[in-house]
Chain A
Amino acid sequence: MSIRKCAENNTAFRRLNDVYRNREKELLIFRENGGKVVGEIGCDVPDELVIAAGMLPVRIYADRESSLEEADKYLELSFDPVIKAQFEKLVNGSYNDLIDFLAVSNSTDVIIRTYLYLREIKRIEPDKLLPPVEFIDWLFTRKPMYKTQNEKTVKRFWETLEEWSGRKITQEDFIAAAEICNKDRAALRRISELRRAHKPRITGSEALVIIGSAFFMHRSEHAELVSQLADDAKSWPEAEGVRLFLTGSAQESAELYTLIEKSGAVVVGEDHDWGDRFSSRDCNLSYPPLQSIVDCYMLRDFSSKKALVSERVKTLDEAVDASGARGVIFYINAYEEAASWDYPSEKKSLESRGILTKAFVKMSYPVSANVGLEDKIREFTKALGGV
């Protein structure tokens, strides 16, 4: 039986898949029961704190079908298509009945702009009914001052969450929430081990569902399910195909993965924010809470948006090595330019160690809008010795 069939027959996976596909389902139930939901843009919003405040963190995501009427009105051309679609939903009211608050981290330039624009729309066009917004302005360099300044930033977010939730967040609340998140990350790392194993038992498209469902449900339930799944999947059949690693734009759906798998490859790892990077580092609970959060979010693997070329080369080399991939696909959406500056150096370093690369840049959104992509991926897989 195929891995896909095994997954479909697995109770834990079915539940995760249901949440992944119906991303509003859990938050609506949560709200009906009087809970408050915090929408998040950017991958550096500390979920632990939101959970410690008794609220549900959910990711704002793009709706590939929706028109871009509002986004086109407010945003310049150089906003990448995914953030554009997210912005559209925030401004056109799609989120009005779904989230109570919005937390934005400065994880990349467009997101900073998104925050500024939302703030300005709230100010000059108050009838737009945007939720209260908090901005989390991390310092990303690891210079001596990053720690103290970032701790102040986290403290501010902590206080805002107390205000939003109407209750104090105690140290115990934080520890309990961080333990849940650590448990979830540990379970997700077991999934990545199964992907990276000599004989992979989970393919990339399943992994995306497993990781991405975390963004839309109770983290404790997610941790239980993933842990169960990691046990179950040990006996799943082995995935066939050329081992590939994916880097570049975050993939909010499994569309690209499905294309790659169809070409006869298996995605054994990725470093985007809807993939493995999400679970790469825990909160160290031997530190005081603020330090623990700064350590967890700021000392993760470097993202392509907030790192030097050399840092990215090293991070990617290590991740690819750990995955045992033979080839790397760089997939970069139009106007998500930063990673393009890394690419030539990354390619050089990878190829010097016998790992082939293929870059797809200025890609349209959604993935299906790129004519001929499937053939090009197949060619690459074939060049690597795939079917």
Chain B
Amino acid sequence: MNERKNAANEPPRARKSLKATAVVSSYQKEWFTGLRARVEAGEDFAYLNADVPMEILRAMDIPFVVNQWWAAICSAKRMAPKYYGLLKEAGYRDDLCSYCATALAESLDPDDKLSGPWGGLPNPTIAITRLTCDCQSKIFELFAANHGAELYVMENTVPRSTPSKWWELAPDRWEDLYDKDRLDSAVEDLRELIAFLETKTGKKFDMKKFIEVMELVNEQEYWYKKTRDLIAETRPAPVTVVDTINAVMPAQWQRGTRWAADHAGSLYEEIKALADEGRFAVPNEKHRLMWLGRGIWHDLAFYQRFEEKYGAVFVWSMYLAMGADAYIRNNVQSDPLRALASRYIGMEDFLHMPPWNSEWFLSEARRNHIDGVVYMVPENCMQAVEGSYFIKKIMEDAGIPVLIFKADPVDAREWNRETMTGLVEDFIETRIIMGGNK
């Protein structure tokens, strides 16, 4: 472990916001302005759920925005209360599927072009989602109708065989990871998607271009892997989840581009430099925390509330770690579409299905020297119901305490920062400090 002793003079405190974070957010905005111009010029524009294999659209140069990431932006801009009010006015329940329904709610806002985030969402012409839950396709259909977009849905299948340590098989032995028929049907689904997009947009799918995109994704994720490993091994950690989530999630949206691969490289270099110079995020780091669940987009500062008082630092979230473990597919050329299929169908399995998720979380907790896990379970999303019993059990059997609490990633209305802070403080005091470390 790259343990650094506090030198005689206090090491400088790592900056909260990395250069790479600032870069990605200004790039996104600039990119978005470009997108608006393309849409206004009459180009097709797609709106995708996060688990849609966007690499296909990247290769076909069809611009797209990703649902969950757009919801995170809306939430960070504090639009959610207004949007859920609009849902209610339109006769929908305002307590359902907040994460996925944010853009639907936004589509009901007559003032979106004036007051929406970044000038509001341009009208998509295509909306694509997968059937990973009962509600998603309904929400997308309503959203598409409001924008006059064409809806396209993709299938989802459930693993029957569950080989252990998926993260070791994924990069090279992805064929062994799944039941064969699942991969077969995912490849067929990809072919149908391509045919749909070609007809709809008039653009041609080019296998060579697609392979380039896949290789660029590999390059980008390779840097995330190095970054994840570096943070895991460096104590105190050079950065916290606030830095990594903000740097990685928006850049994943751009995956498959030269820009995103380079950005991931610069992110690594920047964090490596911090580690080498002994500049730590929280110099008095005592307890390393793992965050399970989606980010709390409306209160990212929450993660930092336990640093000063307890030296408790959130060093792990799925956003960087999924990049590190779930995306890389070597030997793309051998069967490019199958390689992509083996990436996108796995996302749901890896994150939401025991034992794939529970075993991975434990392995990551160990790798990252985690002392405690804080686990947010949303009440109104069936997809995020992912076996919290099994996750808690495997962690606690391994001596890592887990705090489970209910909250919503984008809807701030029910969020009470003080109560939540109290819960986590109590957990740190009673389970981590008094309970002793692993």
Contacts and interface: CB of A to CB of B under 8 A. Distances in A.
Interface of A: 73-79, 106, 108-110, 112-113, 115-117, 119-120, 123-124, 135, 137, 139-141, 143-145, 149, 152, 305-306, 308-310, 337-338, 340-345, 347, 361
Candidate in B91, B141, B158, B382 with the most chain A CB atoms within 10 angstroms: B382
Given A141-B153, A309-B142, A149 B382 contact: no
Contact of A344 (B91, B133, B141): B91
A340 B93 contact: yes
Contacts of B192: 143-145
Interface residues of B, number: 44
B310 interface: no
Given A76-B377, A116-B158, 6 more contacts: A74-B389, A78-B381, A112-B158, A137-B160, A341-B92, A341-B97
A77 B158 contact: no
Given A76-B385, A120-B355, A139-B157, A338 B377 contact: no
B382 A341 contact: no
28 contacts: A78-B379, A109-B383, A109-B385, A137-B160, A139-B157, A140-B155, A141-B155, A143-B189, A144-B192, A145-B185, A149-B155, A305-B134, A306-B131, A308-B138, A308-B141, A308-B151, A309-B138, A309-B141, A309-B142, A337-B93, A337-B96, A338-B138, A341-B96, A341-B97, A341-B142, A342-B138, A344-B90, A344-B91
B181 A76 contact: no
A340 B96 contact: yes
Contacts of A74: 389
Nearest to B355: A120
A137 B385 contact: no
Contacts of A342: 138
Contact of B155 (A76, A110, A139, A308): A139
B351 interface: no
A310 B382 CA distance: 22
Contacts of A135: 158, 160
A315 B356 CA distance: 38
Contact of B135 (A106, A112, A145, A338): A338
Contacts of A75: 389
B385 A79 contact: yes
A139 to B, nearest CB: 5
Contacts of A145: 155, 185, 188-189, 192
A123 B355 contact: yes
A120 B387 contact: yes
Contacts of A144: 192
Given A141-B131, A143-B192, A344-B92, A337 B185 contact: no
B388 interface: yes
Given A77-B379, A120-B390, A337 B135 contact: yes
Contacts of A152: 181
Nearest to B393: A124
A113 B382 contact: yes
A73 B185 contact: no
A216 to B, nearest CB: 27
B181 A308 contact: no
Contact of B97 (A119, A305, A337): A337
Nearest to A347: B91
Nearest to A304: B134
Contacts of B97: 337, 341
Contacts of B380: 78, 337
Given A77-B406, A117-B354, A308-B138, A137 B92 contact: no
A385 to B, nearest CB: 25
A333 to B, nearest CB: 13
B138 A341 contact: yes
A345 to B, nearest CB: 8
Nearest to B188: A145
Contacts of A113: 382, 385, 387
A108 B382 CA distance: 10
B139 interface: yes
Contact of B133 (A73, A109, A124, A310): A109
Contacts of B377: 76-77
B252 interface: no
A144 B189 CA distance: 9
B210 to A, nearest CB: 20
A344 B137 CA distance: 16
B128 to A, nearest CB: 13
Nearest to A337: B96
A115 B157 CA distance: 13
Interface string B353-364: 111000000000
Contacts of A337: 93, 96-97, 134-135, 380, 382
A109 B406 contact: no
Contacts of A141: 131, 153, 155
Interface string B337-359: 00000000000000001110000
A309 B144 CA distance: 12
A75 B392 CA distance: 12
The 6 closest A-B pairs by CB, nearest first: A338-B134, A344-B91, A341-B138, A109-B382, A120-B354, A149-B185
Contacts of A310: 141
Interface in B183-214: 184-185, 188-189, 192
A10 B171 CA distance: 67
Candidate in B385, B389, B406 with the most chain A CB atoms within 10 angstroms: B385
